[in-house]
Amino acid sequence: MSDELSLLREEIGALKKKRNAIILAHNYQRDEVQAIADYTGDSLELSRTAATVDCDIIVFCGVHFMAESAAILSPDKIVLLPEAGATCPMAEMIEVDADRRVWRTFPGYAIQPSFVFPHDFTLKDIKKQYPGTPVVAYVNTTAEVKAESDICCTSANVVKVIESLPDEKVICIPDRNLSMWAQKSTKKQIIAWDGFCHVHDRVTRQDVLDARNKYPAAALMAHPECRLEVLELADYVTSTSGMLRFAKASPAKEFIVGTELGLMYRLKEDNPCKTFHPLRADMICPNMKKTTLKSIMNALSNMEKIIKVPAEIRIPAKMALDRMLDLK
């Protein structure tokens, strides 16, 4: 480790102590960020940790919607997002009202399940179209969208969340690929939105065939934000932490990893005798990579950027998150 990195680690350690702070890092963060985190995990694990961890300050190394969820779940703590510009483009693909809409056009995409709304609709429009139909919001959404939804889900529990509802029809927002994947595992009708993750949606069936050809002995894991054509060829489809568990438990010695490359850090740390190949070398989320040790140190010394959610949004958004977290 360079002198600069070890100095930064020392300074962060001292500031953490002084401020009674805890560092949470998503599995996609830079290696050096994951290395100093108190807790790493997928979206679901980090939400659970944020809701229960004992500290005054949470430094959330991830993207905006994750820090926002932590602020919703822990209103008594200060939540810092070290890089204010670390956002998730998919979370911005659905807006509650027309005047806040930022994404308008999307490339065409062949979809199978139920129905997908075009993007000149808002969440309020879709709710009007299907009155009384519950809205399942992927955690990759803004606090405003969560506040207008009935329950949240993550990639780890989407089917469980849908099945927990008494209704035969559910609206799932905003990820079309996650919805299509869930549609395969439920008899309920899913009304999906046409959002996507640009990192996972770029992977094609041909990429899978090429990787299988190159590494014939490897087991292929894919995140449900990938296209259905990719998921149908995978050996295991799961969240980022699901992949960590699968790789550890599997007798396979070699894996093809169909998610953001930050996961390689923990995969390799946890399984030094196993080999991991990226499904595509460009599966890198630029927003997840914005946070550095320097930005964490600045966040803790300047107490920036504090993520706050106003009570009128926080309270209904917390209800949607709590309903998910309450599912056993």
Residues in the site for ligand 13P, rule: CB under 6 A? 27, 42-43, 140, 154-155, 197, 223, 225, 239-240
- SS3 label, residue 158: helix
Give the whole-angstrom CA distance, residue 47 versus residue 27: 13
The residue behind tokens 């990719």 is: 230
Return the structure tokens found at 251.
């007798």
Q: Does 63 bind ligand SF4 (CB under 6 A)?
A: yes
Q: How far is CA 37 from the centre of its chain?
A: 17
Q: Does 90 bind ligand SF4 (CB under 6 A)?
A: yes
The residue behind tokens 């065939």 is: 209
Least distance in angstroms from the C-beta of 173 to ligand SF4 = 13
Least distance in angstroms from the C-beta of 235 to ligand SF4 = 21
Question: Could you tell which of ligand SF4, ligand 13P, none binds residue 152, using a CB distance below 5 to 8 A set by kind?
Answer: none
Give the whole-angstrom CA distance, residue 152 versus residue 137: 5
Give the whole-angstrom CA distance, residue 29 versus residue 58: 16
Strands (E), the chain: 21-26, 39-41, 57-61, 78-80, 115-116, 135-138, 151-153, 169-173, 189-192, 219-222, 236-237, 254-258, 275-278
Candidates 25, 123, 161, 285: give the one binding ligand SF4 (CB under 6 A).
285
Return the structure tokens found at 91.
């979370």
Residues from 188 through 217 that contact ligand SF4 (CB under 6 A): 197-199
Question: Could you tell which of ligand SF4, ligand 13P, none binds residue 248, using a CB distance below 5 to 8 A set by kind?
Answer: none
Question: Could you tell which of ligand 13P, ligand SF4, none binds residue 287, using a CB distance below 5 to 8 A set by kind?
Answer: ligand SF4
Between 106 and 145, how does the x/- string for binding to ligand SF4 read (CB under 6 A)? ----------------------------------x-----
Least distance in angstroms from the C-beta of 178 to ligand SF4 = 10
Q: Does 288 bind ligand SF4 (CB under 6 A)?
A: yes
Nearer to ligand SF4, 139 or 321 (CB): 139
Helical (H) or strand (E) element with 33: helix 31-36
Question: Could you tell which of ligand 13P, ligand SF4, none binds residue 81, using a CB distance below 5 to 8 A set by kind?
Answer: none
Within 10 A of 245 (CB to CB), how many other CB atoms are there?
Answer: 13
Least distance in angstroms from the C-beta of 31 to ligand SF4 = 16
Return the structure tokens found at 308.
């706050």
- Which residues here bind ligand SF4, judged by CB under 6 A? 63, 88-90, 140, 197-199, 225, 260, 285, 287-288
